[in-house]
Amino acid sequence: MSKFVVNNVAGESGRKLPQYIAGLAASGGALAAGTFLGWTAPTDKPLTVEGEYGFPVSDEQFSWVGSISNLGAALMCFPIGYMMKLIGRKWSMLAMVLPLVLGWLLIIFAENVAMLMVGRFFLGVGGGAFCVAAPTYTAEIAQPSIRGTLGTFFQLMVTVGILFVYAVGAGVDVQVLSIICGVIPLVFGAIFFFMPESPYYFVEKGRYSEAASSLKWLRGAQYDENAEIEDLKQADEKVKAEAIPMLVAFRQKATVRALAISLGLMFFQQLSGINAVIFYNSAIFASANGGKEMSSASIIVGGIQVVATLLASVVVDKVGRRILLLVSDLMMAVSTILLAVYFQLKQDDPAKVDDLSWLAVLAVCLFIAMFSIGYGPVPWLMVGELFANNVKAFASPVAGVFNWLLAFLVTKVFTNLKDAMGEAGVFWLFSGISLLGTVFVFLVVPETKGKSLNDIQRLLAGEKLNADEPAGLPEPRDERDERPAQVA
């Protein structure tokens, strides 16, 4: 037997290698999403200043090019859930290759700003759908002992995609960069075509023999899949039996409070300025008088994001959600205060900052690291924990739509705010919002680490959990909820 075969204390058995392969294959969609998220940073100056495409692109027009993909992503939060139920997780993701390729083709052969905008919108449609479908698929194919590890693949590959665009964009022109990015969804489709459908989808449809075949692929030919299929049947029957209408759900105190916390976390996540920093960090470095000697700064930022995301996946179940959110938001506020001070000094007297260009770079790096370790992944994790299983299907997409719309707002108005308030004023605003977010977490957000879903629902309903009350074994979390991953 393979060394990936284990028999743990819970009686779990089966080969793990096929599950890692399928999880990584699904995360190829995250790589594609990361490329469109990071694309604006290396293309801003070539398109708006250097006129690389042969037609003028104003700063205002580029703000639309950068932000409109978020509208496409928001548009897909609800439809992709229905698609996954109708045609399956696998074919829903394969179908998203079409808008991604179409989007890149429009950008590659763009003859005007309208083609760039439509191309970016299609990229948002495909990338936003992956942010829902890929985590769902990964959670459904993985056994409990490796579900957490496979669950980190998606966000990690998003950050790898952003880093990839930063690195490649530093050495090629916009059209070549877009061609390279356009190849990625095609490679994903060619690989993922050979992966199995989620066994949970087959059970939902009553296609038990196909569910057995899927499990044999994922766990190995020697795996006895009957017990797991029975578990999946029971889980499906429970979800269907506990289903309640949306209006009834939103009259429950626990659901209302969970929604308020989730939307609050999404608000402070996006209004911290993360997408402005991700999409426009090249412009920030240029404004900081970085010049050519800082051309690698965006690549460094992307590398920090990858490393910090890895670190977050290791510590989130050890130190707790609240402490990560508090430290993350407070340090993001410190970072944007440093940026505000730098640009304030530059505005008052440019000579004062001749030797301080490193300060802006340090502040951006600190901001990205602190976001990636806390306020990036944790809000999405808590969306999965705060909502009861019978309301996740419609509550989680609400949080996703709200997040993408806020991402659109911040990305779109960043240039306008910068023109109206100055760079210093914008970062003073972001720092104030981050400080408010810290207060929000301290006063409103509960700690969910180590609590079962039942305990979390009791806590949200206003019940007090006794400190000496035995926690028992946490019930299995339904990690198949259809929720998007973090935007950036």
**pLDDT per position as a tens digit, 429-444:** 999 999 999 999 999 9
Please give the Cα distance from 43 to 82 (Å, whole number): 35
pLDDT band at 11 (very low <50, low <70, confident <90, very high): very low
Of the candidate CATH numbers 1.10.1370.30, 1.20.1250.20, 3.40.980.10, 3.40.50.300, the domain formed by 246-463 belongs to 1.20.1250.20
Cβ-proximal residues to 149 (8 Å cutoff; 6+ apart), any chain: 313
Contacts for 135 with CB less than 8 Å, ≥ 6 apart: 151, 154, 483, 484, 485
Q: Do domains 14-195 and 246-463 have the same CATH topology?
A: yes
pLDDT at 285 over 80: no
Task: Provide the mean pLDDT of the chain.
Answer: 82
Top-confidence range, 126-135, 276-285, 287-296: 126-135
Q: Largest Cα–Cα distance of the chain, in whole Å?
A: 73
Domain boundaries, the chain: 14-195, 246-463
Band of residue 190 on the pLDDT scale cut at 50, 70, 90: very high
Pairwise CA distance, residues 341 & 319, whole Å = 32
Mean of pLDDT values over 20-48 = 89
pLDDT at 221: 83
Virtual torsion, Cα 457, 459, 464, 468, nearest 10 deg: 80
What pLDDT, on the 0 to 100 scale, is given for residue 164?
A: 92
* Residue 462 predicted with pLDDT over 80: no
Give the pLDDT confidence score for residue 5 in this predicted structure. Answer: 38
CA–CA gap between residue 250 and residue 252 (Å, rounded): 5
**pLDDT (tens digit, 9 = 90+) per residue, 138-182?**
878 887 767 666 767 777 888 889 889 988 988 899 999 999 999
Mean pLDDT of 221-248: 79
| CA nearest to 346, candidates 273, 288, 429 | 288
Question: What is the torsional sign of CA 56, 58, 62, 64?
Answer: negative
Question: How many beta carbons lie within 10 A of that of residue 320, not counting itself?
Answer: 16
312 pLDDT above the threshold of 90? no
Asked: is 14-195 a CATH 3.10.20.30 domain? The reply is: no
Q: Is the pLDDT of residue 393 over 70?
A: no
The per-residue pLDDT for 304 is: 87
Q: Is the pLDDT of residue 478 over 50?
A: no
In 3D, which of 488, 161, 163, 157 has the Cα closest to residue 296?
A: 163
- CA dist 247 to 241, 251, 401, 440, Å? 17, 7, 18, 27
Write down the pLDDT at residue 487. Answer: 47
Interhelix angle 321-348/392-444, nearest 10 degrees: 70
What is the average pLDDT across 339-362? 79
Query: Is 234's pLDDT higher than 50?
Result: yes
The reported pLDDT for the residue numbered 452 is: 63
pLDDT tens-digit series, residues 242-273: 777 767 767 778 888 888 999 999 999 989 88
Highest mean pLDDT, choosing among 36-40, 134-138, 326-330: 326-330
pLDDT of residue 433: 94
Of these ranges, 29-33, 306-310, 419-423, 471-475, the one predicted with the greatest mean pLDDT is: 29-33
Tell me, what's the pLDDT at 265? 93
What is the pLDDT, as a whole number, of residue 41?
82
Phi, psi (5° rounding) for residue 194?
-90, 0
Mean of the pLDDT values across residues 206-210?
A: 91
Res. 480 pLDDT band, cuts 50 70 90? very low
Q: Is the dihedral of CA 266, 271, 274, 279 positive or negative?
A: positive
Per-residue DSSP letter, 463: P
Per-residue DSSP letter, 488: -
When comparing pLDDT for 20 and 347, which is higher? 20
pLDDT at position 264, please? 94
Question: pLDDT band for position 476 (50/70/90)?
Answer: very low
Instruction: Confirm if 301 and 365 have CB atoms less than 8 A apart.
Output: yes
Which of 159-173, 354-368, 382-396 shows the highest mean pLDDT? 159-173
Using a pLDDT cut of 90, give the percent of the chain over it: 30
Span 210-236, average pLDDT: 87
pLDDT at 294: 55
pLDDT one-digit tens code per residue, 56-111: 999 889 989 988 998 999 998 889 888 988 999 999 999 999 999 999 999 999 99
Angle separating helix axes 297-319 and 144-169, nearest 10 degrees: 170
Whole-angstrom Cα distance, residue 417 to residue 398?
27
pLDDT at 386: 81
